[in-house]
Structure 1
Amino acid sequence: MDIVKLSINRPVGVTVGAILLVMFGLIGLTAIPIQLTPAVDQPEIKVETRWPGRSPQEVVDEITKEQEEQLKNVSNLKDMRSETTEGSSTITLEFAIGTDISEAKQDVADALRQVADYPDEVTRPSVKATSGAAENAIAWIIIDLDPAYADQFPDFDITTLFDPLDKEVRPLLDRIDGVAEVNVYGGRDREVQVLADNEALALRGLNIADLIRALRSENVNTSAGTIAEGKRDYRIRVIGQFESPEDVLSTVVAERNGKSVFVRDVAAVDLAHTKQRGFVRSFRQPSIAINIIRQTGANVMDVMEQVRLRLEDVRTDVLPNIAGDVGPHLRLRQVYDETDYIKSSIDLVTQNLWIGGLIAALVLFIFLRSLVTTGIVVLAIPISVIGTFLVLLVFGRTLNVISLAGLAFAVGMVVDNAIVVLENIYRRYQMGESPMVAAYRGGREVWGAVLASTLTTVAVFVPIITIQEEAGQLFRDISMAIVASVAISLVVSVTVIPAACSRWLRDDLHARSSLRKAVDSIFGIAPLFSGMVAGASRGIAGIQRGMLGWTLRPAIIIALTAASLFAAGAMVPPMDYLPAGNRNLVFGGLLIPPGLSMSEKVDFAERIEAKVKPYLAGESDLADLPPIPAGVDEFGDPIRYDPVQVGNFFIGSFGDFMFVGGTSTDERVVIPVGQLLTNSMNDLPDTYGGASQSSIFGRGVGGGNTVNVEIVGPDLDRVVEAARFIFRLIGSNEEYGYGRIKASPANFSLGQPEIQVRLTQEARELGLRPLDVGIAVRGLFDGAFVDDYILDGEAVDMVVLPRGGRLRSIDNMGSIPIATPAGQVVPLDTLVRASGATSPQSIHRV
């Protein structure tokens, strides 16, 4: 089939086809999911298990090793790593590319059911599938008390709002189509506290372990079978689960002297909140943070539109009703919105597309010197680019900065085929052939060359589409966009271009007005350049003949080649795997001494806030702010950034790690904010921290230009010693330095301070065992776990604590009376010996 002839004879059909392609391309543009970066498929499953209050070594021995033993045989498992910290175990399972994550999740759940048994107080393992880029939050929300009303509510604790926010706000956001997960940070769960009177227990020959056993045995619902009564079968259940504090107080602990000892005789019951183990602060105010994570492939723009509507409902309908009189004065602020950067990126690329298209049209006009022929070639740009949107939609791709970059690159490429075809048609047209004949013969002559040229371009990018690893997934969109646009331009060049030339070129080539001739010559500029080109051509031809051909010509070639290589080497930019982008978000961390108390962490946070305060928006005029120091250059001269105001600022702490974050009021100037936060952290004693602009590719993708070194061995002490040696070796190297090394765990060389309690010989002779003493000691500080208590239809922890609350010092422990199995009541300090020691902060296993 002669496609060129068919297109010339069917111009209406070609026109309709082009219009339909553009129309469906525009429809595809509205339907294609929009997100910041391509979706990278990194099949991972995380297994999280909590055992409150236990040391990392205990968690490893009792939980992590048992789970790893069962999980190592899961199908398609590529890598398994675990991180165990105080009271928590997280196992990350990485699967081969292409693994069905739903099946893998089911396999993991089945394997975990093979674990024989877990200790008391261990929560049921949670299995969560993750997928690289979806782990990045698309929005961060801060909830706090309006500072203008802080003096009216001095006793208000924002952390106590965790439960209402978790029950009312989180489900409201979780139900949005496209939202994968909503997390609430900075709050404290509710718990039922049984406040034991240790003296009353001891006087009755009881201890904390007896109280816990009594409560556990009572707080049980037991199925007792079925019974047939007439025409029906009835299920029989023995109900014992606590439904009110009065049920707890009425529990019989033991019998003494023929009388029952009730819980009310030795303890009280209170509804309170768990021990504070972390915090979030924003603008120097205690806060609660909420983040929203999208589903893979979801349209971020649509999701965020719904999120904003729901947040407005939360602001007007939920917050005023969740904290009594404080509720109307609670603030809800969205401090980060990923769509802001997406919109700016799309606008920038769209602007570049327009500019690139106009420049291409201008260049074409300069060389073609005809508005008609220039217009014919320029037709290829919108048809090819818009048609690419339909191809991306059909293949399930998304519109992101990578695919848009591919379209920007393609603007200059899609006109190549059209130029070749049109130039040949126009050449024959200038030779005197009619537009119809010139269009047909000119198109047919170069059809094969245009096809070969297109196939060579496609052949370069198609292999990238077939790569399944991370690099292939990242650059698949740019390859798909270029391949689709160039392929469409091939069809346009052999259909639309000949058809347009056959109808729009006029037969009267030489009958032109003086204005038209002036335009064709670009008002005399074209002949000037033609003369210059002709002169250069004659000069080049001259040096290729005679003596100059074998003397001067080689020298010129060598000189030009050397100059080109030198210029290329000098202009090569620094190499990196992925660019960071210009995301208006700065994030960083602060390494603090192990075991730092909560009050000291808050003090550190307040000192950082004091350094940042002058730069907060609204605090000072930008002109009055001092420059931001940024070290020295290679000559020893100080480097300073111009001051910039911080739009949003937050700081938090969980475990032995503190984090900071912020945004700039000027989205074009973000790096100085990172330097400001770094300077604010590095003024603290015995700490090391840093903050930098967050990459658009976020966590888990790319990894930048990093080299990972793993130190693995069966002996933890030897592993730590080897890691310490390698850390010092690399840090002392001038090419790297300590500032470019990141260790995991961060403070691997520093142990967590702990107090080790050991039973004395006297305690053993009196019948005490480490388990009973451990329960008693835990009940003095963190609280000894009893069981779940159903509160408002939700299970919360029930713990035993001393009357008066948690002890604040180890010195207060010694006077606590303990009833021994031998019948004696003795102070705790006569039964145990406490000594200082250190233990690992966290344990990583590979």
Structure 2
Amino acid sequence: MKLSNLSIKRPIGLIMIVLGILALGFVSLRNLTIDLFPEIDLPVAAITTTYSGAGPQEVEQLVTRPLESALSSLQGIDTIQSTSQPNASLIILLFQNGTNLDNALLEVRERVDQVKGMLPDNAGDPSVMRFDPQQTPIMALGLAGTDLSRLENVAETQVIPYLERVDHVASVTTMGGLTREIQLVLDQAQLRQYGLSAGQIAQALQAENRSASAGVVSKGSQEQQIRINGEFTSLRDIASTLIPLPAGGHITVADIAEINDTFADESTITQVNDEPGLILSVMKQSGGNTVEVAERVGKAIGQIQERLPEGIELTVVMDMSIFIRSSIDSVLQNLIIGGGMAVLILLLFLRSIRPVMVKI
């Protein structure tokens, strides 16, 4: 039986089938994740290793080459690219298409663990990462104000905690701004007089600046853990730290050093709307809808701005959802234009509206 005859004889059944297909399509459309790029798994892995105080040649000979030798025999590797720079080594592994990246990363970690013991003592543990194009910021926010020293504290205490509570926001990172730093300017003459070195001062400070467990106390039927908070909370704590002398006795840090509460040297300068500021990068959770997350963050920005101190402004610098909305609008516009052109062409050839409606 032809479809046209079946449609004429069973119109109600055909209408129900069409309505069922439309309902299924509507539900699927609502649950469809909207993103700028499709979810793909690129066969790329990266191994990063830090080596503080080393030049590019030392990094290449002592870190990069041992790791390359261990990784070059892995199955499925297409290309190995390495970069040795001061204080760091970067190795990028390009696998052949079709390689199971999960299994490949397990083998990479096993090879790295075998070589890790051969690396210099000052080198950090190699970090194995996979390249995921989804792990890119969906929004960049600018926090600007005249007092740059306040921005870092405002971002960490007010802005970031609020944004990370937004649904499907994974994390928020900062770039720029001033980072507080406590500097100790040692008196070299005093160090020579007491027979001390800078390393001994650093060890004494590290030993004092830590918390520890002091055991368990029984209270009725319960056991409570006792914790001693020994971390520094003020400059006075640092100044009064005792330094043991080789000949016996103790001195304090204030006797041999000048303590400065300042900021770390700026390696980058960030400006937002021609004012000093810092950038907040918003990352969404895997599988999240970029457009919906951006809309929720936009609403949160208005609520945060009401709580910020006077003179500090939070604005949107970059929004990936704008490009997604533009792409969707372009598709809808082309769909409408294409449908209209098809109707006009049918009307031109058929010269009657009734057969055109039947064709549609």
TM-score normalised to the size of structure 2?
Answer: 0.79
Q: Select the residue among 350, 372, 375 that pairs with 2:354.
A: 372
Q: Distance in 1 between matches of 2:318 and 2:176?
A: 17
SS in structure 1 at match of 2:138: strand
Whichever residue aligns with residue 131 of structure 1, its letter is: D
More helix by share: 1
Would you say the 8 A contact 1:131–1:296 is kept in 2? no
CA distance in 2: counterparts of 1:122 and 1:261, whole angstroms: 33
Q: Which residue of 2 aligns with 1:243?
A: 232
Give distance in 1, aligned partners of 2:64 and 2:81: 10
Q: How far apart are 1:77 and its partner, in Å?
A: 4.9
Instruction: Specify the alignment match of 1:836 in structure 2.
Output: none
Q: Return the offset for 1:198.
A: 1.8
Residues 1:215 and 1:243: Cα distance change in structure 2 (over 3 Å): closer
Deviations 1:574-598 (A, max 9, x none): xxxxxxxxxxxxxxxxxxxxxxxxx
SS at match of 1:279: coil
Equivalence for 1:116: 117
How many angstroms apart in 2 are the aligned matches of 1:349 and 1:220?
59
1:157 to 142, 145, 148: 148
Report what 2:276 is aligned to: 286
Cα gap change, 1:214/1:88 in structure 2, threshold over 3 Å: closer, same or farther?
Answer: same
Report what 1:184 is aligned to: 174
Say which is worse superposed, 333-342 or 38-47, in terms of deviation: 38-47
Structure 1 residue identity aligned to 2:87? G
What is aligned with 2:144? 144
More strand by share: 2
Aligned residue for 1:328, secondary structure, equals coil
The corresponding residue for 2:85 is 85
**Residue 131 of structure 1 aligns to a residue in which SS?**
coil
Q: Are the structure 2 counterparts of residues 356 and 3 from structure 1 closer, same or farther at C-alpha, using a change threshold of 3 Å?
A: closer
| 1:20 is aligned to 2:10 | no
Of residues 249-258 and 302-311 in structure 1, the stretch that sits farther from structure 2 once superposed is: 249-258
Q: Is 1:131 aligned to 2:113, yes or no? A: no
User: Cα–Cα, structure 1 residues 72 and 49, in superposed 2: closer, same or farther, change >3 Å?
Assistant: same
- Among 359, 362, 365, the alignment partner of 2:341 is 359
**Residue 347 (1) aligns with residue 329 (2):** yes
Residue matched to 2:193? 203
Percent identity over paired residues: 29
- Residue type of the partner of 2:174? V
Aligned pair in 2 of structure 1 residues 68, 177: CA closer, same or farther (>3 Å)?
A: farther
The separation in 2 between residues aligned to 1:234 and 1:31, in whole angstroms, is 48
Are 2:334 and 1:334 aligned? no
For 1:334-733, list aligned pairs within 5 A. 334-378=316-360
Asked if the contact 1:142–1:333 (Cα under 8 Å) also holds between the matched residues in 2, the reply is yes
- Residue 55 of structure 2 corresponds to 55
For residues 67 and 210 of structure 2, what CA distance do their matches in structure 1 show?
28
8 Å contact 1:51–1:122 — kept in the other structure?
Answer: yes
SS of the residue corresponding to residue 270 of structure 2 reads: strand
Contact conserved, 1:163 with 1:190, CA < 8 A, in 2?
A: no
Closer/same/farther in 2, CA of residues 14 and 367 from structure 1, 3 Å limit: same
Which SS does the other structure have where 2:141 is aligned? strand
Give the match's secondary structure for 1:278. Answer: coil
Would the alpha carbon gap of residues 287 and 296 (structure 1) be closer, same or farther in structure 2, given more than 3 Å must change?
same
Stretches of structure 2 that go unaligned for 5 or more consecutive residues are none
Helix, strand or coil: the match of 1:18? helix
Specify whether residues 137 and 257 from structure 1 end up closer, same or farther in structure 2 by C-alpha distance, changes over 3 A only: closer
Structure-2 separation of matches of 1:73 and 1:313: 55
**Alignment match, 2:184:** 194
Q: Which amino acid aligns with 2:24?
A: F
Quick check: 1:179–1:294 contact (8 Å CA) kept in 2?
yes
Contact 1:43-1:131 at 8 Å conserved across structures? no
Going from structure 1 to structure 2, the CA distance change for 1:374 and 1:3 (only over 3 Å counts) comes to: closer
TM-score by length of 1: 0.37
Larger Rg: 1
Change (3 A) 1:38 1:82: same
Residue 334 (structure 1) shift:
0.6
Q: Which has the higher contact order (CA 8 A, sep 6+)?
A: 2
Measured in 1, the distance between the counterparts of 2:21 and 2:349 equals: 29
